[in-house]
Amino acid sequence: MSHRWADLGTAAERTARDAFVREAARAWRELLGRADRPPSFRFARGVWAERRGPRWVVRWAEAELRPLADAVARTAPPAQEVLLGLPALGWEAARALALRLHGVDLEGAEVRVGITRGHLLALAFSIPLDTRGGPDELQAATECLCENALGEQTLDRWIATIDVVRAPRRSRLSVLPAGPARVAETHPLHLLESLVERGVTAVTEQLPESQLMVECDDWTGLELQADPEGIQGDRLQAFTRCPEALKAALEGLPFDSARFTRGREVMIWFAWTQPSLSARLAARETAEAVVAEVGGTEPACAVCGSGFGPVRDYLDVWAIPEVEVLGKIRDELARRLGTPVELGFYDTEWARERFRPDFGSE
């Protein structure tokens, strides 16, 4: 169901969005009116709220459901304190929670944080051999610790993998290295939050203030394999000035535009078909010109890539995430190209929201 961007879609999509919001508000009234409030309450498949003291925390099973979770949180009565996603509790409280929920004491564990593909962070935990628990229990406890120590939104946006390995407990009487000191591969667990913060800072410090203002003549060609399950299953080639971002999106990695720009713009895509090769080549030039015109002198959008499949052509664009801006680009492309134009999002939380209105419709 289209939700966050339903105003870009059809009347039926907007009606479905409004019906969901009304039903969520009704469900809150029902829940808060009960004398025996349950510890959790389901609002939709994969979206639920958990009671944490006087507060409720709205959660989601996968990133694509976050727009629905956000709508649920927004429909709660103003007097009720509601959080979107688990908040960051810090490592000590998170360790205690992992022990209570999973029976695994992660005291003595160590962690390594590294930057991996797509500007994501990979977490690797070394669990002492004498820590009780099987592989599944250790994995579940470690994921619980990360979720509660870092907060759910940080986990969704920045963390690619959480790996667990067994290792001997480090001796308090470690032998000092004979040569120059080396940075330890792993660090005490209480440094988890600061290590993640340092990793995020290392990424963001290298990002442009805005992808809308970048002037770049260095474009990269990407050869793609057809992937029916992918976000653009028929796309075979791409040309882009943001190869790290586009590769992450097309390879199915968790994608968040904030990992590639310090501005508030997001990376989106448009697709259309034309009847002949000459028409396809002309349409691509026209499409790039349209984006430049809509962008204006204080850019609201900028082309960052193009590509094609056997039938469809693609244009990748950085754009301010506002309905008016996105709708204007899509509608002007459709008018100038004389064909329906599909709009889609690379950000994982909106990847299921695609809009294919008929040409000439509302």
pLDDT along the chain (362 residues), means of 10: 88 94 96 93 96 94 94 95 95 95 94 95 95 94 97 95 87 44 72 96 95 84 84 90 93 94 97 95 96 88 94 96 95 95 95 73 44
In the chain, the number of structural domains is 3
Same domain, 54 and 95: no
Q: What is the pLDDT of residue 174?
A: 42
**In angstroms, what CA-CA distances link 176 with 126, 128, 171, 179, 334?**
21, 21, 12, 9, 68
End residue of a domain, out of 84, 102, 126: 84
Same domain, 316 and 199: no
Q: What is the pLDDT of residue 245?
A: 95
Distance in angstroms between the alpha carbons of the first and the last residue of the chain = 19
Q: What is the pLDDT of residue 361?
A: 46
CA 311/CA 280 separation, integer angstroms:
9
Same domain, 332 and 283: yes
Alpha helices in 61-134 (DSSP H): 66-74, 91-102
Same domain, 344 and 262: yes
CA 58/CA 24 separation, integer angstroms:
12
Sheet with strand 159-167: strands edge to edge: 159-167, 120-128, 110-116, 187-188
**Is there a domain that residue 80 lies in?**
yes
Same domain, 227 and 267: yes
Same domain, 39 and 106: no
Q: What is the pLDDT of residue 14?
A: 94
Same domain, 196 and 294: no
**SS3 state of residue 152:** helix
Same domain, 79 and 96: no
The residue behind tokens 């990992």 is: 259
Same domain, 11 and 103: no
**Is there a domain that residue 360 lies in?**
no
Give the DSSP H or E segment for 114: strand 110-116
- Residues near 56 by Cβ (< 8 Å), separated by ≥ 6? 49, 50, 76, 80, 81, 82, 83
**Is there a domain that residue 307 lies in?**
yes
Instruction: Identify which of 224, 218, 225, 204 has the alpha carbon closest to the alpha carbon of residue 304.
Output: 218
Same domain, 246 and 339: yes
**Is there a domain that residue 1 lies in?**
no
Q: What is the pLDDT of residue 216?
A: 73
Q: Report which residue type is found at 324.
A: E
Same domain, 198 and 224: no
Q: Is residue 62 packed enough to be buried (19+ CB in 10 Å), middle (13-18) or exposed (0-12)?
A: exposed
CA 209/CA 132 separation, integer angstroms:
47
Q: What is the pLDDT of residue 358?
A: 52
Report the CATH number that the domain containing residue 151 is assigned in CATH: 3.30.300
Report the CATH number that the domain containing residue 342 is assigned in CATH: 3.30.70.600
**Is there a domain that residue 259 lies in?**
yes
Report whether 149 contacts 87 (CB < 8 A): no
**In angstroms, what CA-CA distances link 164 with 128, 134, 192, 259?**
11, 11, 14, 25
Same domain, 144 and 120: yes
**Is there a domain that residue 213 lies in?**
no
**Is there a domain that residue 50 lies in?**
yes
CA 162/CA 124 separation, integer angstroms:
6
**Is there a domain that residue 273 lies in?**
yes
Give the structural domain span for 58: 6-84
